[in-house]
Structure 1
Amino acid sequence: MIARKSLQRCTPAFLLAPGLILFFVVIVYSTFKTLWISFYQWDGFGDPAFIGFQNYRELWQDPQFWTALRNNAIWLVVFLLAPPIGLAISLLVNQKIAGMRLAKSLFFMPLVLSLVTVGVIFTWFYDPTFGILAKLFGLFGLPAPALLSSARYVTLAIVFAGLWPQVAFCMVLFLAGLNNLDSEIIGAGRVDNARGWQMLRHIILPQLKQVSFIAVAISMIGALRSFDIISVMTSGGPFGSSSVLAYQMYEESLFSYRFGYGAAIATVLFAIMLVFIVWYVASLLRAENGG
């Protein structure tokens, strides 16, 4: 009997152990290892040489780092459009109108596509010779701009490609929130003649506050960790103008064999993301405590 009770007490620990071990090895250990490598000059093969903060000083003077940081800021600003657009689409497809199930499926489709697939699709879309964009400009007798070859517009072109599946993700979040609205509160609002914008502003949006918070937080983190779609569409080009911190870290580490410098970039990116993670957790705790 005692052995059975002891086994029952230990069962949660046994179930949690694989996940915790994986978390500490892959996440925690790798984070501290990356921070340690950032203070060394290392090509990934020989013995690392300690250089202190030299990698960070070089990073501060590197124009490519500031270009990547600026592009990350552009990603962040544009991705904040995903929650309001996703909310608008969810309100539209949540209506009980014939054909809305098909519309909902079409809007949901980008979410099941990988970002690599999205990148390939939009590369074809932006192609100035045979892409859909070229066809649209051709209707007016105009040449299509080569967006992915323009240092001025390439980042915006990639960001809007990445925004497509992000909007679909936010739409799904808001649809789940709309399906969990309190019908009694909505009914009370109708009794008080709340219609249209008043119903949305004073009754629906307050009940979607937590969903909105999650959509904004995930969109911000997704903007900071953008990598794969850039790799597929431009590989950071032209001349590094579309690179972000994650892609610059990848290039410096695997192509230039500067793992210490790449680790310094990764540490800076982690510090930026940590700010948003701390804000997210603190806001979540305040919301749960009614603060």
Structure 2
Amino acid sequence: MADTAALQTSVDTRSWFHRNQQRIAPWLFLAPGILFFLVYVIFPVFQSFNLSLYEWDGLGTKEYVGLRNYEDLYWEFVDRDAFYVSLKNNLIWLLLYLLAIPAGLMIALFLNQTVTGIRLYKSLFFFPFVISQVVVGLVFSWLYDPTFGLLNVMLGWVGLGPINVLGNENLVTYGIIAAGLWPQTAYCMILYLTGLNAVDPEQIEAGRLDGAKGMRMLWHVVLPQLKPATFIAFVVTIIGALRSFDLISIMTQGGPFGSSRVLAYYMFEVALSEYGFRMGYGAAIAVVLFLIMLCFIAYFLWSMYQEEKGR
């Protein structure tokens, strides 16, 4: 009894840190990441909200203008000016970029099989993921070139005239999206390949015993187990579509006549380029872009929460 009392006394006299060491340890490991996230993500978000209320050229004194920058954006939208074109192109990007998800799934299902030369196929499909967007933009610029581009060479084989994809206001956005879909499909493919490795083989076998095969097997057995990968693919694809900048900068610089602008590139133009260094106006565009992203991501998070809650 005396030994037990002594042990209890020694435990009680330990410091708070030693008594809660196991609970504190995970937070100590997370602390650097949380700190960087707060400094480089959360703080700039609030800073952008604040800056959008000012008129500032980046060097002089800030002038508080309230919601005037947002009013200017509204009238640009009503008059179908640059902001309207940028927002419309972003929505087109968003809709067509989502094609990368089913395309990535189909490729992943193919690569998940035992096929002769599967390693070569995997390398070819994985290749777009490891090259930079700058390289992708240059490759597709050469592909679309109206004089020597491979696209027009192939069109010439069937008797069709040359098409200047990047010089046509009606085609340029779709041409850039096609370039962006190449690496994005590879990224979704990798996500689904990882998810397929975690599919329960017992459920597959049970589905076969119940007569499920083909699309029924995919829809009722495989896809429900790929929901985490699908969620990540949706979020990453939506963010990629809404913040598209590099391909537009490399391939067209917003042209021809501003027809390929998106919000991210328009923000760059008004804040740091030819429109007079309107930092506050650029910040207002950034806030609009952030809110659009937030709505989509919040919807997917809420859907997954409701689904998990219903289980």
The match for 1:194 among 212, 230, 240 is 212
Q: Tell me, yes or no, if the aligned pair for 1:221 and 1:276 is still in contact at 8 Å.
A: no
Distance 2:191 2:35 in 1: 31
Distance 2:209 2:44 in 1: 57
Matching residue's letter, 2:44 = S
The match for 1:5 among 14, 18, 22 is 18
Shift of 1:89: 1.1
Matches within 5 A, 1:222-241: 222-241=240-259
Distance 1:21 1:140 in 2: 59
- How has the CA–CA distance of structure 1 residues 142 and 27 changed in structure 2, closer, same or farther, with 3 Å as cutoff? same
Shift of 1:276: 1.5
Distance 2:119 2:258 in 1: 42
Q: Which residue is 1:22 aligned to?
A: 36
Matches within 5 A, 1:258-277: 258-277=278-297
SS at match of 2:256: coil
Matching residue's letter, 1:283 = S
User: Residue deviations 1:10-64, cap 9 Å, x none?
Assistant: 5444433332222222212211111111111100000011111111111111210
Query: With structure 1 as the length reference, what TM-score do the two structures score?
Result: 0.94
Distance 2:287 2:223 in 1: 37
The match for 1:163 among 181, 186, 190 is 181
**Structure 2 residues without counterparts, runs of 5 or longer:** 1-10
Q: Which residue is 2:304 aligned to?
A: 284
- How has the CA–CA distance of structure 1 residues 189 and 20 changed in structure 2, closer, same or farther, with 3 Å as cutoff? closer
Matching residue's letter, 2:85 = T
- How has the CA–CA distance of structure 1 residues 214 and 290 changed in structure 2, closer, same or farther, with 3 Å as cutoff? farther
1:118 and 2:131 are equivalent in the alignment: no
Shift of 1:113: 1.1
Shift of 1:152: 0.8
1:140 and 2:158 are equivalent in the alignment: yes
Q: Which residue is 1:214 aligned to?
A: 232
**Structure 1 residues without counterparts, runs of 5 or longer:** none
Q: Which residue is 1:243 aligned to?
A: 261
Greater Cα shift, 165-174 or 194-203 = 194-203
Shift of 1:93: 1.7
Higher Cα Rg, which structure: 2
User: Residue deviations 1:137-187, cap 9 Å, x none?
Assistant: 121243320010111110000011101111111111111121111111111
SS at match of 1:76: helix
Greater Cα shift, 242-251 or 4-13 = 4-13
Query: With structure 2 as the length reference, what TM-score do the two structures score?
Result: 0.88
Fraction of identical pairs, as percent: 50
Greater Cα shift, 196-205 or 31-40 = 196-205
Aligned residue pairs total 291
1:87 and 2:100 are equivalent in the alignment: no
Greater Cα shift, 238-247 or 173-182 = 173-182
Q: Which residue is 1:128 aligned to?
A: 146
- How has the CA–CA distance of structure 1 residues 16 and 92 changed in structure 2, closer, same or farther, with 3 Å as cutoff? closer
- The CA RMSD measured in Å over matched residues stands at 1.8
